[in-house]
Amino acid sequence: MTKLHELTSMGAQKMTRQKTSGTSLIELLVVIVVFLVGILAFVQIFPQGLNTLRVTRNNTLANSLARSEMQRIQGQSNQVAELIAPVTYVGGTTAFISINTSANFNDLLPPVDDTATNTGRLTSDGQVLIGGTPSGPWQKLSGSNVFSRIIGEGRPVPAPRRVGTDQGGLMQLMFAPIYYFRDAATGVQPVNRAALLVYGNDMVGRNAGPPGNPNDPRTNDSLFIYVDGEDAEDPPFADQDQIWIGSLRDGSGTVIPKSYRIQFSFNYDEGGTVRQYDVIVVVDPSDTTIATQVGNYFVVSLQQLVGKSGIFGSAAFVPSQYRNADGGSIRVQRVFQELAPSDTWNVSDPFQYKVVSSNLGSVLMSPYGFRYNVRTIRGATVPLRANVDYTVYDWRIIRDEFRVPLTGYGSMKLTVNSIRPLSGSGPDGLPNRGLGGADGSLWTPNQDGVNGSQDFILQDVETGGIIVGNGSGANSAYVVDKSNSVITFRDVDGNSANGITAFVAFATGNSATPWVIDNANPIDLRGRALRALYMATAEVSVQVSKAATQYRVAVPGGPGSLQSAEAYAGGSNGWGAPNRIYFPRMDAGQRVIIGEIWTDNGPLLDQEFRISEGVETGGTELPFIELPSNLNFTENNYAVRRVRGSSVRVRVLWNPQNFQLGTDQVDNFRRLVTWAQSWRRIETESFLAGARN
């Protein structure tokens, strides 16, 4: 019994110990608190780490976009523009007005509404007010779109080929989409809104008196003659600076009236201070107050041309204050005539073109311009060039060019990570209106042929047409996964024997039916060069900047007179340091090669310099190149010669932040300014030594 009792007691004690050996609630709470503190401390690492990953990913994407664009430019270096300049916009149509030489490449904010108080205003629908007038959406007047005027992009007229129902030399502009406004009645752009200008080679100039026999049948149609006003004793413009331009004639010798793009510098007396101005004007042959036909020559009065140029703004031009033109600055190019898409080419006129696909930048040159030659200064002949001035529609539209592989062409990954869909919104919280916006200027057909603003356009570079797709319908040749930016191709005719086929929509130039889909003749996409146009989900832009191919050494009256593509040797006209070469603000940061710099200690030949980012603090607000203080210019008027731009820059801007527009216009502008402080940028540079000669 005793043993049994002992055993029973031991068992009871064991059971008691088992019941009492647990974890109390207080202990559990303590453990939970300790874990939470540790976990929270650990979790705090993640936002910073995730932000680092996000920044790294965006930097990688920006570098990829910049390299891709630079490679595209280098692959088309024979077509690179002479200059890319900042612009001034006005009115609700955001039309290009003039080159703005006072803008800087780092200016990213839109202009203010009231310059006296430096107050900006932005409406609830994103319109920037300038002088109380809506002047366009803030995206078009700020950021990368400040620098968007392309000057002198060109190449020899391409060989003719079949494009839709027409035939000609197709030139695809490098930085399209572009601004273009077609008049519904005429089928061409109106004269007062001519955002696109096409012109030929520089004509050969010489200084001499008027030709002895203006009716001489041997008149050179590639030549112009500058006549100083002192030598112009007879009508039509006696005592006025003028140029005589050899006219284009048809096979029977009849003159074909043409407009001319004329650029020159002149001196103007402003109350005792003589200032130098640059002007670029297109002369219409119908304006007889400026020009007139004399035999085989088109004669233009430079003095009258200045009066009609509008270069002085609202101030009146006073003819007696005009001093003289700089004969060495004159450039003359024959302007191509624009035809409506339905018009017929003139066999006697190689200077004609048509705009194939409106804002998409496909320009069709006359088939008679191919193999047409013009004369040079040494009497040799060179092929006719087509040079184009235009304004980039929006640098935020990514131009992704690629060739469809001959094999393994099922899908293609685009450069960006994701594409902004029509159902999305912009950084200001407003709904995304697609690539074309609400004004219809960049509307293209969808897979069903319905014209409208799209969030993705696939263009055939060879024809300028639109590949029908971006959906799952029977006519669609591709589907876009916008979340992952992947294009998957589909064979529209279902016959694998003839490759992967697609239907193409061609522009008609008819506002009622702007596009027509060629369902009868599908094309094979294998090996085809395509251009994808889209916007990234984030606010991203890929922008190109270029120094002028050639700079003219000018002698302006003051810093405010220095124009685009000009350089000034300090001290040569009473201002600036005698060891500095000044450039317009728009050229800050660019690289140039200077062929000759003559100093007190001898010449510097073929030297490369980078123009300063900053400006002189002594009252001259211009960027400059500075030589050592002991290297002053010898003969200021002739110390600097042969200045050429040598750099092409690609800048990728992106902003990961957002802001919200409200009803307070001043507060909206402040929010935009705060948001703009979050711009990130990646820049790459290449050296093309002027890009072309």
Residues 402 and 503 in one domain: yes
Gyration radius of the chain's alpha carbons:
32
Report yes or no on 596 lying in a domain. Answer: yes
Whether 469 and 462 have beta carbons less than 8 Å apart is answered as no
Say yes or no to pLDDT of 481 above 90.
yes
**pLDDT confidence band for 630 (50 / 70 / 90):** confident
Report yes or no on 99 lying in a domain. Answer: no
Say yes or no to pLDDT of 2 above 50.
no
Residues 404 and 532 in one domain: yes
Residues 532 and 588 in one domain: no
Helix axes 25-43, 45-75, angle to 10 degrees: 20
Report yes or no on 481 lying in a domain. Answer: yes
Report yes or no on 557 lying in a domain. Answer: yes
Residues 532 and 558 in one domain: no
Residues 245 and 305 in one domain: yes
What one-letter code names the amino acid at 76?
Q
Mean pLDDT, range 269-274, rounded to an integer = 82
pLDDT in the model for residue 93: 42
Instruction: Give 430's Cβ-side CA count (13 Å radius).
Output: 16
Q: What are the beta bridge partners of residue 297?
A: 246, 294
Report yes or no on 641 lying in a domain. Answer: yes
Q: CB atoms < 10 A from the CB of 323, how many?
A: 15
Sequence-distant (6+) residues with CB within 8 A of 342 are 187, 509, 510
Burial of 112 (0-12, 13-18, 19+ CB in 10 A): middle
Residues 411 and 507 in one domain: yes
Residues 220 and 251 in one domain: yes
Q: What tens digit of pLDDT does each residue of 60-85 get?
A: 888 999 999 999 998 888 899 999 99
What is the pairing mode between strands 552-553 and 566-569? parallel
Q: What tens digit of pLDDT does each residue of 144-189 get?
A: 999 999 999 999 999 999 888 899 999 999 999 998 888 888 889 8
Report yes or no on 18 lying in a domain. Answer: no
Range of the domain at 275: 201-335
Report yes or no on 586 lying in a domain. Answer: yes
Residues 414 and 519 in one domain: yes
Report yes or no on 85 lying in a domain. Answer: no
Lowest mean per-residue pLDDT among 184-193, 595-604, 606-615, 651-660? 184-193
Q: What are the beta bridge partners of residue 33?
A: none
Residues 525 and 596 in one domain: no
The domain tally of the chain equals 3
Residues 488 and 509 in one domain: yes
Whether 420 and 537 have beta carbons less than 8 Å apart is answered as yes
User: Could you give the CA distance from residue 10 to residue 4 in angstroms, rounded to a whole number?
Assistant: 10
Residues 261 and 321 in one domain: yes
User: Could you give the CA distance from residue 218 to residue 55 in angstroms, rounded to a whole number?
Assistant: 67
Whether 337 and 321 have beta carbons less than 8 Å apart is answered as no
- Could you tell me the two tokens for 275? 């200032």
**pLDDT confidence band for 493 (50 / 70 / 90):** confident
Residues 309 and 425 in one domain: no
Q: What tens digit of pLDDT does each residue of 656-689 get?
A: 899 999 999 999 999 999 999 999 999 999 876 5
